[in-house]
Amino acid sequence: MKNLALLIVFLFLSSGIKSQSIIAGQLSQDDNYYDYEPDTVIDCSFPYCYKSETPFDLNNDGSPDITFITATSTGAMGGGTNYVKIIANGNNLIASDSSGHCGDSLVKAFQEKDTIQSSDTWCNETLTIREYSWMVGYGSCLAVASDLPSYFIGVKIFAGKDTLYGWIQISGIYAYADIIHYTIPGYACNRGSVGIGDFEKNQIVHVFPNPCKDRIYIEFGTPLAKQALAILSDINGKELLKQSLDNTKSQMDISMLSSGLYILKVIKDNKLSVHKILVQ
């Protein structure tokens, strides 16, 4: 993962109903892929992190598709329960494995190159990835692949007429006493045929200089028929800047940003281009 780019965007137009599967850890030309660099690390320890929610927008339509819930209680000696769970937003679904001792079903753990497809068991409910209860004992609710260094969670997303399949990689999960720690290296999803699509090759957006310092320039390969939009976010998806673009070549002031990696989304004529920006 470390040697991959932060974001791989395949510049192909999508059309028709999308494929009914995706390969865990693998990509096709019709998949969007996000590789966090550095990996997103989620730490939660009582009392500093009682409960946190981490949403993920796999198909990049602006709405979270699934949400990780991480929680710690009063600590092991106090009889508390600590857990990592995942819920599907809206009508979306998550691949499940079996019923757990804690009442919730367990998430299904896919290994790399496993096929995530319609024949898997899917549900729209809270699924447990890992749970530790002092009263019940270590591993009272444990997804099978939690014993593996890295595995994948399957997601089914309903987007207009498309049924999209995606995966989220999770690694290094640790839940014990009043501490929870895990890492999200990246995720992928089929590309939808409706909504915001990707630019054609002759409409590529150029963003320069990169690395940058005080400003960046956004240049289109074709003239603007109507106003375009640029949205700059941090690597966790928090929106920082939004600017309308009226010219074929526009400038965005980023002098207020700290050094680091950022994501720039450019939307023109309902087409999307996504760029990794390194601010020095």
In a domain, 122, yes or no: yes
Q: Strand 127-133 and strand 105-107: pairing? A: parallel
Residue burial 160-183, b: 16+ Cβ < 10 Å; e: rest = eebbbbbbbbbeebebebbbbbbb
Q: Answer whether residue 62 is part of any domain.
A: yes
Q: Is residue 268 in some structural domain?
A: yes
Mean pLDDT of the chain: 75
Highest mean pLDDT: which range of 23-32, 95-104, 146-155, 185-194: 146-155
Residues 234, 128, single domain; the answer is no
- Looking only at the bridges linking them, the beta strands covering 51-56 and 66-71 are antiparallel
Q: Are strands 215-220 and 249-253 parallel, antiparallel or unpaired?
A: antiparallel
CA distance 89 to 279: 33
The pTM (predicted TM-score) of the whole model is: 0.60
* 113 and 12 part of one domain: yes
Whichever domain contains 216, its CATH number is: 2.60.40.3080
In a domain, 30, yes or no: yes
What residue ranges in 149-238 does DSSP mark as E strands? 150-159, 162-176, 179-190, 197-198, 205-208, 215-220, 228-234
Residue 142, strand partner residues: 130
Q: How many domains does the chain contain in total?
A: 2
Residue 57 in tokens: 């927008």
Pair (96, 121) in one structural domain: yes
pLDDT digits (tens, 9 = 90+) for 81-134: 777 888 999 999 999 886 555 556 788 889 888 999 999 999 888 888 777 765
Query: By the 8 A CB rule, do 128 and 144 touch?
Result: no
Which range marks the domain in which residue 210 is found? 199-279
Whether 116 and 182 map to the same domain: the answer is yes
Clarify whether residues 97 and 230 are in a common domain.
no
Domain assignment of residue 152, yes or no: yes
Percentage of the residues of the chain whose pLDDT score is greater than 70: 66
137 within domain boundaries? yes
Q: Which of 138, 170, 190 is the last residue of a domain?
A: 190
Per-residue pLDDT, 193: 54
